[in-house]
C-alpha cells in the first residue's frame, strides 16, 4: 500500500483528488453555402429562353403551325412532328453549340464539348434535367463545396460528350446534334456512388444507402434506352463522375481527429486521415481517368478517317 505524505492528514488528502484529464470537442463538419448549382440552374434556363428567342418559329414557318404562337409570339415552339419536347428547331441548337461529330472532329470546334451542356431540346427536357440538378447538386455542394462540385460537373459533362461523339463515329450513324446536361448530371450520380464506397466506414445504414442509390441510378440509365435519347452521353458522364468521386469526394475515416482540436498536453493515439483502400481507389481512379480521356481523344483526332455524313436530327440527353 502507498503511503501518504507525513504532513497531510487523511481528511486533507481527500480534499485534493487528482485532476481530470482535459477534454476536447471536435466541431461538426461545416456545410457550404450552395451558390454554384443554383447559378448553373439559372444559366440553363436563361440559355433556353435565349434559344427560343433566336429560334423565332413564326419567322420560318406559318405562325398557325408553330405551337402556342398566339400567346408566345417568337418564343413559340416548333410543331410536334419536328420536336415533340416543346422546343426549338435543330438548326438553332446547331448554331448555338450543339454537339455534332462533323463540327467537333473535322472542323475542330472543341468548345462544343462544353457548350452542349447548357442547351436543351425542349421544355420537357429542361425540366427533367433541372429537377435532377437541384435535387442532387445542391446536397453535394453543401457537403463538398463549389470548387469540387464545379470541377466534377464540368469534367463529367466533358466525359459524356466524348463518349457521345465516339459512339456516333464508331457506329457510323448519320451526324446528329446532341444537347443537354444529362452527362454532367449522371456524373453527379456516379460520384454519389463512389463517395458511398470510398467513405464506407462513416455510414450507419450502409446496405440501405447503397441499395437505394443503385435503384435510382438504374432507373435513370433505363431512360436512356428510350428512342432519340443519347445514352452514350449518360454512360460516359456516369463513368467519369464515378472515378472522379474517388478523387474529389474522399472524407476522413471515422474516428479521425485533426491535431488542432486536441488540447496541449493531451496525448492521444490518432488515426490516419484516410484508410489504405481510399488511397488505392484514388490512385487507380486517376490512372483510369487519364488513360480514358487520352484514349477517346486519340480515337477521335488521331484515327479520324474524315468521314462525311448528312445532318439529320438532334439527340436530347
Residue 182 annotated as catalytic: yes
| Residue in 69, 76, 178, 182 annotated catalytic | 182
| Alpha carbons 59 and 64: distance in angstroms, whole number | 12
Residues 68 and 106: beta-carbon distance below 8 Å: no
Instruction: Give me the pLDDT at residue 267, please.
Output: 60
**Phi/psi of residue 175, each to 5°?**
-65, 130
| Alpha carbons 104 and 109: distance in angstroms, whole number | 5
Instruction: Give me the pLDDT at residue 312, please.
Output: 43
Pick left, alpha or beta for residue 168 (phi over 0 → left; psi -120 to 50 → alpha; otherwise beta).
alpha
Q: Identify the H or E element spanning 72.
A: helix 69-72
Instruction: Give me the pLDDT at residue 26, please.
Output: 56
Q: Name the maximum alpha-carbon separation found in the chain.
A: 111
Instruction: Give me the pLDDT at residue 173, please.
Output: 64
Instruction: Give me the pLDDT at residue 160, please.
Output: 95
Q: What single DSSP character describes residue 155?
A: H
Q: What are the per-10-residue average pLDDT scores of the chain (317 residues)?
A: 53 56 62 94 97 94 89 93 92 94 89 95 92 92 95 96 89 77 94 90 74 79 67 92 95 70 61 85 97 94 56 55
Residues 140 and 40: beta-carbon distance below 8 Å: no
CA neighbor of 129 nearest in space, from 241, 234, 226, 249: 234
Helix/strand/coil (H/E/C) assignment for every residue in 172-233: CCCEEEEECCHHHHHHHHHHHHHHHHHCHHHCCCHHHHHHHHHHHHHHHHHHCCCCCCCHHH
| Residue in 69, 120, 156, 234 annotated catalytic | 234
| Alpha carbons 112 and 17: distance in angstroms, whole number | 74
Instruction: Give me the pLDDT at residue 307, please.
Output: 47
Residue 234 annotated as catalytic: yes
CA neighbor of 280 nearest in space, from 238, 251, 249, 247: 247
Geometric angle at alpha carbon 204, from 199 and 210, rounded to 5°? 65
Amino acid at each position: 500500500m502507498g503511503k501518504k505524505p507525513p504532513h497531510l492528514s487523511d481528511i486533507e488528502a481527500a480534499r485534493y483528488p487528482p485532476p481530470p484529464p482535459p477534454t476536447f470537442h471536435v466541431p461538426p463538419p461545416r456545410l457550404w453555402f450552395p451558390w454554384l448549382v443554383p447559378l448553373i440552374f439559372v444559366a440553363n434556363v436563361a440559355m433556353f429562353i435565349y434559344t427560343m428567342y433566336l429560334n423565332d418559329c413564326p419567322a420560318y414557318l406559318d405562325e398557325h403551325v408553330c405551337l402556342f404562337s398566339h400567346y408566345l409570339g417568337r418564343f413559340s415552339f416548333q410543331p410536334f412532328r419536328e420536336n415533340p419536347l416543346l422546343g426549338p428547331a435543330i438548326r438553332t441548337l446547331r448554331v448555338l453549340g450543339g454537339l455534332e461529330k462533323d463540327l467537333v472532329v473535322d472542323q475542330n470546334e472543341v468548345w462544343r464539348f462544353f457548350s452542349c451542356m447548357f442547351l436543351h431540346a425542349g421544355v420537357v427536357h429542361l425540366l427533367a434535367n433541372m429537377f435532377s440538378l437541384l435535387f442532387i447538386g445542391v446536397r453535394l455542394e453543401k457537403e463538398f463545396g463549389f470548387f469540387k462540385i464545379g470541377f466534377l460537373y464540368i469534367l463529367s459533362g466533358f466525359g459524356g460528350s466524348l463518349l457521345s461523339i465516339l459512339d456516333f463515329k464508331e457506329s457510323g450513324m448519320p451526324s446528329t446534334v446532341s444537347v443537354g446536361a444529362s452527362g454532367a448530371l449522371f456524373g453527379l450520380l456516379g460520384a454519389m456512388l463512389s463517395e458511398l464506397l470510398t467513405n464506407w466506414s462513416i455510414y450507419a445504414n450502409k446496405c440501405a444507402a447503397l441499395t437505394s442509390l443503385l435503384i435510382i441510378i438504374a432507373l435513370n440509365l433505363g431512360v436512356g434506352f428510350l428512342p432519340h435519347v443519347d445514352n452514350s452521353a449518360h454512360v460516359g458522364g456516369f463513368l467519369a463522375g464515378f472515378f472522379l468521386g474517388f478523387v474529389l469526394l474522399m472524407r476522413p475515416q471515422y474516428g479521425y481527429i485533426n491535431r488542432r482540436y486536441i488540447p496541449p498536453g493531451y496525448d492521444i493515439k490518432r488515426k490516419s486521415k484516410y484508410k489504405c483502400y481510399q488511397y488505392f481507389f484514388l490512385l487507380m481512379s486517376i490512372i483510369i481517368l487519364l488513360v480514358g480521356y487520352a484514349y477517346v481523344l486519340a480515337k477521335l483526332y488521331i484515327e479520324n478517317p474524315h468521314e462525311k455524313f448528312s445532318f439529320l436530327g438532334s439527340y436530347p440527353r
